[in-house]
Amino acid sequence: MTWWRNAIVYQIYPRSFADSNGDGVGDLRGIVEHIDHLTELGVDVVWLSPVYPSPHDDNGYDISNYQDIDPVFGTLDDFDTLVETLHRNGIRLVMDLVVNHTSDEHPWFAESRASRDSPQRDWYWWRPPRPGMTPGTPGAEPTNWVSYFGGPAWEFDEATGEYYLHLFTRKQPDLNWENPEVRAAVHDVMRWWLARGVDGFRMDVINMISKDPSLPDGQPGTAGAAQGLLADGRPHFICGPRLHEFLREMHDSVFARHPAQLLTVGETPGISHEEGRLLTDPARRELDMVFQFEHVTLDCGQTKWDRRQLDLRELKASFARWQNGLGDGWNSLYWDNHDQPRAVSRFGDDDPEYRERSAKLLAAVLHLHRGTPYIYQGEELGMTNVPFSHIDDFRDIESLNHYRHAVASGADPDDVLDALRSRSRDNARTPVQWTNGRHTGFTTGTPWLPVNPNHTEINAADQRKDPDSVFHFHRRLIALRHTESVVVDGDYTLLLPQDEQVWAFTRRLDSTELLVLANLSRDHVAPALDPTPWAHADTLLTNYPDAGQPPSPFRLRPWEVVVYRRVVVAGS
């Protein structure tokens, strides 16, 4: 069996994990110092967000050198120590590979922008202004595409009189994967890290590497009211014409030649489960799994800042579609990462009365689906969104740009702040809450982003001592995946798809069947399921202390989750 099928991955966003030298920014030695947190939890893999040299315009997702460590995080020696410490503790390490774009301070881009005749000009997407338009003025961009972080996706370069493409910030120019030299250079980088001992890659926006080379305009009117002349260019760069070819080539020239089995996970916004199947079918030799975004867009309108009430029926249907729609492919399972607001505040209930129960419920529901679960640092503690009060509290470029653009186009600043409070990526980026002490034990200096004031209530030190904590609940879920093959390989069936409060599903492998029942509300509910087959079932896991034998009829208390296991006898 492929090892990652029963593995649990823990994501570390190094800037916010643990600071060993008092400069207020987390670092590699900080991770080594907290290895016991990971081993006690029982995770199998760490995915490390970028630690490469970077101007940090987008917190390291803008890389200026692929083969070194940024001094703010440490040195290559520190990195080797981290790999060695993780491996000694039976934990693998997956690197973040950000190769849709580089930093504009990467030497490749410096060379490319030097002149129109540069031998590396074609490593990036350079285009002249729109004919008849004054270069550098609105509308003169080669296409009308909006950037993910607001404003046009093109930046005018005075010196050479052309624009370059940047789907993200202007300091993140897109590499031109049409050029075989670019692909070979990326493969070299990957081999270099593998030779250093890493166990795989999480590939940033990897489904954007192939663009339609004719670069057509986006459909006018598709980019959200605040964006003026701009439009949504995604149809021309999401899963573009050569994506599968590029991934197959990468697989053959990097992974197929590597002696150990690696883990590759592609970050793939905007894909359907059909595309997910193509990308992860092992026979096609592309990726092991992908991060899809369907479930984290269901509470969004045209953009993530337009909040929409989540309909539980849609969320369940989305999960079920992916569970059953991948054929021989494989799911990754996540609520949280460094780009998403905190799950307990978003899908759970972060009122102190329900916070712990709903954090446990969300964990149980996620981990008991079929796929590889990802835990984002702090999620195992039930960390919540942050009570930001002023725009100066934010650091994330996406949030700051959105505020600027929205307010400039007439939005009420209080409304914009309100949306930022619930959706900003900074919610996920406050320091991991280690203790109830000063700066939550994250740093002896001044943290780059202040800690959430609720660290006095929510912190690792308290939770590790409390067997009933969110932390220990995660530990039990992780152990369950390691010991119960039905969690890994069982068939999945969604029950009660129309229920607006209850999430119910079964997993079945041979004669073992699990029933997961979860109440995503503050009400007492009675799911309309026949309890008879479950009368003699064991209770495997629950977030209420006194849940015993299955009640008949089934009843669930506010935010209760319970997992039953039975042996199926023929005909039952």
60 binds ligand TEU (CB under 6 A): no
- Of the pair 42, 266, the CB lying nearest ligand TEU is at 266
Give me the sign of the Cα torsion angle 280, 286, 292, 294. negative
402 binds ligand TEU (CB under 6 A): no
Q: Taking CB under 6 A as the rule, which mask of x and - marks residues 165-184 in contact with ligand TEU?
A: ---x----------------
Among 19, 141, 275, 339, binds ligand TEU (CB under 6 A): 339
Among 30, 151, 200, 269, binds ligand TEU (CB under 6 A): 269
104 binds ligand TEU (CB under 6 A): no
CB of 100 to ligand TEU, least distance (A): 7
Among 174, 249, 398, 484, binds ligand TEU (CB under 6 A): 398
Q: How far apart are CA 256 and CA 274, in angstroms?
A: 25
Query: 187 CB contacts (<8 Å, ≥6 apart)?
Result: 250, 253, 254
48 binds ligand TEU (CB under 6 A): no
CA distances from 123 to 174, 182, 276 (A): 9, 6, 28
Q: How far apart are CA 440 and CA 455, in angstroms?
A: 6
- Of the pair 204, 350, the CB lying nearest ligand TEU is at 204
- The neighbour count for residue 110, using CB atoms within 10 Å, is 14
Q: Are strands 263-267 and 200-203 parallel, antiparallel or unpaired?
A: parallel
- Of the pair 376, 564, the CB lying nearest ligand TEU is at 376
The enclosing H or E element of 541 equals: strand 538-542
CA distances from 8 to 15, 38, 67, 92, 522 (A): 22, 11, 27, 11, 30
CB of 220 to ligand TEU, least distance (A): 22
205 binds ligand TEU (CB under 6 A): yes
- Of the pair 61, 177, the CB lying nearest ligand TEU is at 61
In angstroms, the first-to-last Cα distance of the chain is 30
- Of the pair 58, 70, the CB lying nearest ligand TEU is at 58
| 41-47-53 Cα angle (round to 5) | 135
224 binds ligand TEU (CB under 6 A): no
CA distances from 449 to 265, 386, 445 (A): 29, 11, 12
CB of 58 to ligand TEU, least distance (A): 5
Beta bridge partners, 517, equal 504, 562
CA distances from 486 to 345, 374, 377 (A): 30, 19, 27
Span 142-161, contacts to ligand TEU by CB under 6 A: 148
Among 29, 92, 183, 304, binds ligand TEU (CB under 6 A): 304
Amino acid at 200: G
For residue 46, give both structure tokens: 């760490």
Among 4, 47, 52, 61, binds ligand TEU (CB under 6 A): 61
Among 9, 51, 98, 480, binds ligand TEU (CB under 6 A): 98
Known catalytic residues are 204, 267
SS3 labels along 45-75: EEEECCCCCCCCCCCCCCCCCCCCCCCCCCC
Among 58, 70, 104, 380, binds ligand TEU (CB under 6 A): 58
204 binds ligand TEU (CB under 6 A): yes
Span 419-448, contacts to ligand TEU by CB under 6 A: none
Span 249-268, contacts to ligand TEU by CB under 6 A: 267
Helices then strands, each counted (H, E), the chain = 15, 16
CB of 147 to ligand TEU, least distance (A): 10
CB of 61 to ligand TEU, least distance (A): 3
Q: How many residues bind ligand TEU (CB under 6 A)?
A: 13
- Of the pair 267, 379, the CB lying nearest ligand TEU is at 267
- Of the pair 168, 534, the CB lying nearest ligand TEU is at 168
Q: What is the DSSP string of 359-388?
A: HHHHHHHHHTSSSEEEEETTGGGT------
CB of 244 to ligand TEU, least distance (A): 20
| 69-75-76 Cα angle (round to 5) | 75
Binding site for ligand TEU (CB under 6 A): 58, 61, 98, 148, 168, 204-205, 267, 269, 304, 338-339, 398
